[in-house]
Structure 1
Amino acid sequence: MSFNMYVPTRFIFGCGRLSELHEQKLPGKKAMVVISNGKSSRENGSLDRTLNELSKAGIESVVFDKVQANPLKSTVMAGAKTARDNGCDFIVALGGGSVMDASKAMAAMATNDGDIWDYINGGTGKGKALTNDPLPVVCITTTAGTGSEADQWGVITNDETNEKIGFGGDDRLFPVISIIDPELMKTVPPKFTAYQGFDTLFHATESYISKFANLMSDMYALTSIENTAKYLPRAVKDGGDMEARERMAFANTLSGIVMTISVTTAEHSIEHAMSAYHQDLPHGAGLIMISKAFYEFFIEKHACDERFITMAKAMGIKDANRAEDFITALVDLQKACGVADLKMSDYGITPDEFDKIATNARETMGGLFAANPCEMTHEDVVEVLKKSYR
């Protein structure tokens, strides 16, 4: 029994709690508020509310509104320059996982020299350590997916080299404050509610079967799995179901904490490679596409049968007694959320790319393969992609 746990973020969780932002001890005097390049935060009022809260706290602010669904290296560098040019001394990330991920990278590059890829471990990254403290980051999450409000990681895409790699691991990149207000999630469309919800689920399921799982991570993972399985279909069906939104927000934050105590598996490496080549593929959708074949691989190897049975029970099959029951629960949940028939081909992925994707997964985020409950070869990855393809 051995684990490390350090989550220094102050969590402010609950409906309506964005209105308490001005009461917090904020880490500076001028904020760069980072949002996506879409319209949602402007149209649903969350941006105006956030700017008003900062104003009430006596904080000046500028807005950076260029973050893509899979944030690019060039966007990170542009954001860092905006923060420096405007004299910002902290960052407020208002959005989903992409915004929070990008904000952590911007916070690092606002105070450190060079290019973000100098500090990336894996692929063509140079693996340097951050010399200077990043700017502090405040997260206001508007989605229940990624868990980025609870960890010190972000995922960045280098569109020049088709690499999508996790950045961070430095304890200075933990958000200082995270506001998790489920009311901000009401307007997320059903499709994206599902994609994000499955990202939450897989952070927990992967960390639970991981070689790095432990009693502490298990506690968080199983609670996250249980809440996701029960409440995600309701959140997809009715975005205004606030009990479902609250429980999914809770499951998501737990899944973020899980990743600081355990480690996800190669399912994430494979999907990152898929969306590195296909920028428009939502991360959660890619995970859904490969999930059945990915987990079946370990079940066929009997890598951790009892863990799959336990997860099946957490997902509602109370009399589960076979590892395969997890697959039944997984497929049933995908059907209930309307995402069981997602097609790689709809995003331009073709079978002749599978070898390239498998190679990319190992070269860019090969470390996650070490977390798999048993060995998974290059050929095994290609086979998972083949079985997943439609």
Structure 2
Amino acid sequence: MNGFTFYNPTKILFGEGQIEHVGEETASIGKNVLFLTGGGSVKKAGLYDKVLALLAKAGCRVTEKSGIAPNPEIDSVREGAKLCRKEKIDVILAIGGGSVIDAAKAIAAGAIYDGDPWDFFDKKGSVDKPLKIGAVLTLSATGSEANGNTVVTNPETEEKRATYHPGLYPSFSILDPTLTFSVPREQTAYGAVDILSHVFEQYFHNVANTPLQDGAAEAIMRTVIDCAPVAMEEPDNYNARAQLMWASTLALNGLLSSGITRGDWACHIMGHEFSAKYGLAHGASLSIMFPSWMKYVFKANPERFAQFSKNVWGVDISSLSVEEAAIAGIGATKDFFHNTLGLGVSLSDHGIDGSRIEEMTDSATKHAALGSFVPLSREDVVNIYQSAL
């Protein structure tokens, strides 16, 4: 186990009815609010009007901006940053899933930056003293409600990039599982893949003596595996939705990586290419990438994958070789994605051929080599993409 510094300043208000505190929590960090939302679902559910009323009661002045798309685009960030400067915004309240919260973070950084907000994602500029952020989560997936990460897409350059800054942690996040009851079946499945993938990125490492981290990661994975199918079949099952919501937060709030590494993240970076160039949902890209990556790298540490098979998937490995046990867990993962969640596990499942693999490889490796569990060469990246066809 390695030494570490754990930092997470986000206040979490979890449970049914916590939305009642959104006004007071927002007012405690700023009174001039940019109210940021995605599509029309928050209005249909009555959440939009309720939050506006609570903000007004708390004495907040509200400027509204809606229309944040999945895989939020840089133009929305630019528009939001400009609006913040015009209206002298001091706090952004994001209501939605990870895309809306990520957009809020990028807008918060861009509002006090003289250049183009894309600079943060293209490694040409640095975030400094962003605006305060509050969040109301309506989709269990990204963990953006309790971390300093933000991911934005640039359609002009066909790039999807991430950046991090400790100032981008939301000051508070409201997690009410009942707000996820209306999430459609497919989005619930994609969210489950996203949560699992965040754990995968941190679970597959080569640091010795990490039973606490391993146990926590394995518990989160088993929870998602148990609860995602229930939530898909029973959308208003409070316990299943609550477990998924808390799993989403714990999967990427800094807890699992403490004492090991910052994570591998090769699959996320490679998967971003599918979203940027083909418009795939983030979860769809990950359900393709991870089985291919696992099969490609497992021989570097088959014992870790054998442990994964036994402790996460419940595979009886007593009569299997280490390599056979490892392969069984990889197969169980792919089967869960495809047969239980009903998602594609190859590019061909989405009608995508291999014509842009070289281009995607160049883009994925633009800023740095990929991988820490197994450092990947350019040739490795090409091979993994090809195996995903």
Q: Same fold (TM over 0.5)?
A: yes
Question: Structure 2: which 5+ runs fail to align?
Answer: 319-324
Residue 79 to residue 264, structure 1, CA distance change in 2 (3 Å): farther
Aligned to 2:36: 34
2:297 alignment partner in structure 1: 298
Q: Which residue of 2 aligns with 1:376?
A: 376
- Structure 2 CA distance, aligned partners of 1:139 and 1:23? 13
Note if contact 1:272-1:283 (Cα within 8 Å) is conserved in structure 2.
Answer: yes
Judge which range, 227-236 or 327-336, deviates more.
Answer: 327-336
Kept in 2: contact 1:6–1:260 (CA 8 A)? no
TM-score after normalising by structure 1: 0.90
The answer to which of 343-352 and 53-62 deviates more is: 343-352
Give the alignment's TM-score, normalised by structure 2: 0.90
Deviation of the 1:311 alpha carbon: 2.6
Deviates more, 1:303-312 or 1:26-35: 303-312
Could you tell me which residue of structure 1 aligns to residue 310 of structure 2? Answer: 313
Query: Quick one: structure 1 residues 20 and 260, their matched pair in 2 at CA, closer, same or farther if it must change by over 3 Å?
Result: farther
Aligned: 1:263 with 2:263? yes
Residue 127 of structure 2 aligns to a residue in which SS? Answer: coil
Amino acid in the other structure paired with 2:37: I
Relative to structure 1, the CA distance from residue 319 to residue 104 in structure 2 (aligned partners, 3 Å threshold; closer, same or farther) is same
Of residues 118, 124, 139, the one that matches 1:127 is 124
Identity percentage over the alignment?
Answer: 32
* Pair 1:352-2:352 in alignment: no
Q: Taking structure 1 as reference, are residues 211 and 272 closer, same or farther at Cα in structure 2, changes over 3 Å only?
A: farther
| Contact 2:218 2:312 (C-alpha < 8 Å) held by counterparts | no
Of 167, 171, 195, the residue aligned with 1:176 is 171
AA of the residue aligned to 1:294 = W
Counterpart pick for 2:185 among 182, 190, 203: 190
Alignment of 1:140 with 2:136, yes or no, is: yes
Q: Does 1:235 align with 2:231?
A: yes
Supply the distance in 2 between the matched residues of 1:187 and 1:83 (Cα, whole angstroms): 31
- Is 1:103–2:104 an aligned residue pair? yes
Residue 252 of structure 1: how far off its partner (Å)? 0.3
Instruction: Please state how far the C-alpha of 1:331 moved relative to its aligned partner.
Output: 2.5
Q: Which moved more, 1:307-316 or 1:203-212?
A: 307-316
Where 1:352 maps in the other structure, the secondary structure is coil
Give secondary structure in 1 for the equivalent of 2:33: strand
Q: 1:126 to 1:383 in 2, by over 3 A?
A: closer
Please report how far the alpha carbon of residue 90 of structure 1 lies from its aligned counterpart in structure 2 after TM superposition. Answer: 0.2
1:74-113 equivalences in 2 (<5 Å)? 74-113=75-114
Q: Structure 1 residues 31, 218: CA separation in 2 closer, same or farther (over 3 Å shift)?
A: farther
Q: Which amino acid aligns with 1:328?
A: G
Contact 2:23 2:55 in 1 (8 A): yes
Aligned length: 376
Q: Tell me the CA shift for residue 257 of structure 1.
A: 1.3
Alpha-carbon displacement from aligned partner over 1:309-328 (angstroms, at most 9, x marks no partner) = 33333434153461123213
Match of 2:151 in 1: 155
Deviates more, 1:198-207 or 1:158-167: 158-167
1:275 aligns with 2:272: no
Any stretches of 5+ residues in structure 1 without a counterpart? none
Amino acid of the structure 2 residue aligned with 1:284: G
- The residue identity in structure 2 corresponding to 1:355 is E
8 Å contact 1:34–1:65 — kept in the other structure? yes
Q: CA deviation at 1:343?
A: 5.2
State the SS of the aligned residue for 1:34: strand
Residue type of the alignment partner of 1:104: K
Inter-partner Cα distance in structure 2 for 1:99 and 1:320: 43
Quote the Cα distance in structure 2 between the aligned partners of 1:272 and 1:326.
25
Distance in structure 1 (CA, Å) of the matches to 2:58 and 2:317: 52
Does structure 2 conserve the Cα–Cα contact (< 8 Å) formed by 1:210 and 1:264?
yes
Matched residues in 1 for 2:308 and 2:374: separation? 18
Amino acid at match of 1:339: G
Find the aligned partners of 2:252 and 2:55 in 1 and give their Cα distance.
Answer: 26
Quote the offset at 1:220 in angstroms: 4.0
| RMSD between aligned residues | 2.2
Residues 217-266 of structure 1: CA deviation (Å, up to 9, x unaligned): 54542232121111111112221111110110011001121476432420
Q: Which amino acid aligns with 1:291?
A: F
1:66 shift after superposition: 2.4
In the alignment, is the contact (CA less than 8 A) between 2:141 and 2:192 conserved in 1?
yes
**Cα shift at 1:171:** 0.9
The equivalent residue for 2:322 is none
2:62 alignment partner, SS class: strand
Counterparts of 1:4 and 1:212, CA distance in 2: 17
**Cα separation, partners in 2 of 1:166 and 1:254, compared to 1, 3 Å:** same
**Conserved in 1, the CA contact under 8 Å of 2:36 and 2:94?**
yes
Residues 268-326 of structure 1, C-alpha deviations (whole Å, 9 max, x = no match): 01101121112x21000111022211111122x2x222322333334341534611232
Instruction: Return the alpha-carbon distance in structure 1 between the equivalents of residues 225 and 191 of structure 2.
Output: 13
Whole-angstrom distance in 1 between the partners of 2:137 and 2:288: 25
